[in-house]
Amino acid sequence: MTKKGAILKIMRLIIIVAIVAGLSLEAKAQQVVKEKAYQLSLPAGWEKTRQVPQGIDVGFRKKLETGDYATFYFHHEYMPPEAGDPPADTSDMKRQWDSMVRNQYPDMRLLTADSPKVDGRILINGIYEFTDNGVKVRRRYTYFLSGRTAFVVQCSVSPGPWATVLNDFDSILVSLKPSSSTPKAETKSDDSAKAELKRDLPTLVSSFPSQWACSLVDVSITPRSSRAKRTLEIRLAFNRSDITDIYKATKLLFGMMKAGKSDADLNSIPSQLRSPASQSGDFIKYVGQVWGLASGYVGNINPPLEQYMVSMVDRDRQRIGSLSISREDGSAILTGKVTASEGKRVAGMYVFE
C-alpha cells in the first residue's frame, strides 16, 4: 500500500472519531467483555455507557471519587486485505491529526506521550489537553491495527486524576482486540453515505495548510434511476485567488504526460502558467485526499459507484472545473498497484473537465 493510500484510509478512521501499563490488576477484578467485533477486559468500577458521541461505536466509563467520569471510547473497523498495509513511517499522518485536533479545539496543548501497549501496531498516538464543551480535559488518542481490524481509541478525564486512572486506561487498551470472526460489511444507502461525508469531510479539509484552505459545498451521488454513470461528486470551494490558474496548469501538465511528452516539453509550458504549475503536485495531493477519503464511505453502496469526481469553485463560487477518476483506477492508486513514478499511467487515470 502506498504511503498516500494508507494516509487516506487511516484519516477516514480518524475523522469518524474527531468529532485509548500493563495489566496490574488481579484477574478477579477484571470483567471480560466479548462482543461480535471485539473483546476486552474491564478493571473494577467500569461500566458500559448507554450513549456515545457521534462517530464512536463503543464506550465505557468509571465514576471517580471526585465525581468526575473517566471514559474509554473507541471506533473499530475491519480493513480487507485489498486495502494493503500501512507504511512504516506514519509521521505525516500524526502531523495532520495534530492539525485536526487543533482546529477542533483551538486551545489544544500537545503533551509528551509514551506509547502504550496494544495488541497490534500503533500508527498514531498523542496526548492533548483542551477545553471540550466548557470543560478542561486531558485526552489520549491511539490508532492501532490488530490483525485486519483498526481501532481508534480515546481515553479522557480531567487533568487532575489523569495519573491515577492511567493504569486503568492502559489495562483496557492492551486487552482490546478483535473477535475471532471476520465482520461482514453492511450495504449502505446513498443517503447514508452522503450524510456521513457531509459530516466528516469538513474535518479533513480543515486540516489542510492555510494556502490550501477550502470548504465543502455539497456531496451528490447519481440516482439509481439515471442512465448516467454512477458518480460520487464532491464540490469544493477554494479560498486562494490563483486556484483557477493552478487547475488550468495541472490540466495542461497531465494532458502532456498522458501524451508521453518529455521533461523538456513540460518545461516549455506558457510562462504565465509556470508558477501555478509548481503548485500542481500539492493540488493533486489534497484533491486526492478528498476523493480517497470519500471512497471508504461509499464502497458498500448498491448499485456500486463507477467513478469519483471533485468539482471546484473559487471563493466567489464561480465554477473552475472538475477532475474525475474511475473506481477501479482509484483503487489501484490507494492499494499501491500504481505508483507516482508511473507518471504517464497516473495522468491517464484522471479526466479533467
Region 1-11: what's the mean pLDDT?
52
Task: Judge if 26 and 163 occupy the same domain.
Answer: yes
**Chosen domain end from 178, 205, 235:** 178
Contacts of residue 195, Cβ cutoff 8 Å, sequence gap at least 6: none
263 pLDDT tier (thresholds 50, 70, 90): confident
**Chosen domain end from 178, 210, 242:** 178
Region 41-66: what's the mean pLDDT?
92
pLDDT at 237: 96
How is the beta sheet containing 177-178 ordered, strand by strand?
31-34, 38-42, 177-178
Taking the C-alpha atoms of residue 39 and residue 151, their distance in angstroms, rounded to an integer, is 12
Range in 91-105, 107-121, 133-147, 154-168 the model is least confident about: 91-105
Task: Judge if 266 and 129 occupy the same domain.
Answer: no
Cell digits of residue 317: 463560487
135 falls within a domain = yes
Q: Is the pLDDT of residue 47 over 50?
A: yes
Q: Are 218 and 235 in contact (CB under 8 A)?
A: yes
Task: Judge if 224 and 325 occupy the same domain.
Answer: yes
288 falls within a domain = yes
Task: Judge if 167 and 210 occupy the same domain.
Answer: no
Domain around 223: 190-352
Nearest to 64 by CA among 156, 133, 139: 156
Task: Judge if 242 and 152 occupy the same domain.
Answer: no
Task: Judge if 227 and 113 occupy the same domain.
Answer: no
Mean pLDDT (the chain, rounded): 85
**Chosen domain end from 117, 146, 178:** 178
273 falls within a domain = yes
Terminal Cα-to-Cα distance of the chain (whole angstroms): 29
pLDDT at 28: 41
Taking the C-alpha atoms of residue 305 and residue 226, their distance in angstroms, rounded to an integer, is 13
228 pLDDT tier (thresholds 50, 70, 90): confident
Q: Are 154 and 73 in contact (CB under 8 A)?
A: yes
The count of structural domains within the chain is: 2
Q: Which residues of 80-103 are buried (b: 16+ CB within 10 A; e: fewer)?
A: eeebbebbeebeebeebbbebbbb
185 falls within a domain = no
Task: Judge if 157 and 24 occupy the same domain.
Answer: yes
Q: Is the pLDDT of residue 255 over 80?
A: yes
Instruction: Provide the 8-state DSSP code for 338.
Output: S
pLDDT digits (tens, 9 = 90+) for 177-202: 998 765 566 678 999 999 989 988 99
Contacts of residue 124, Cβ cutoff 8 Å, sequence gap at least 6: 10, 14, 90, 93, 94, 97, 141, 142, 143
Q: Are 113 and 126 in contact (CB under 8 A)?
A: yes
Residue 127: CATH number of its domain: 3.40.1000.10
Task: Judge if 164 and 276 occupy the same domain.
Answer: no
pLDDT at 266: 78
User: 132: which strand partners?
Assistant: 135
26 falls within a domain = yes
User: 74: which strand partners?
Assistant: 58, 153
16 falls within a domain = yes
167 falls within a domain = yes
pLDDT digits (tens, 9 = 90+) for 204-223: 888 888 899 999 999 999 98
Task: Judge if 93 and 196 occupy the same domain.
Answer: no
pLDDT digits (tens, 9 = 90+) for 280-328: 989 998 998 899 888 888 888 888 899 999 999 999 999 999 999 999 8
Task: Judge if 171 and 22 occupy the same domain.
Answer: yes
Task: Judge if 49 and 142 occupy the same domain.
Answer: yes
Task: Judge if 79 and 111 occupy the same domain.
Answer: yes
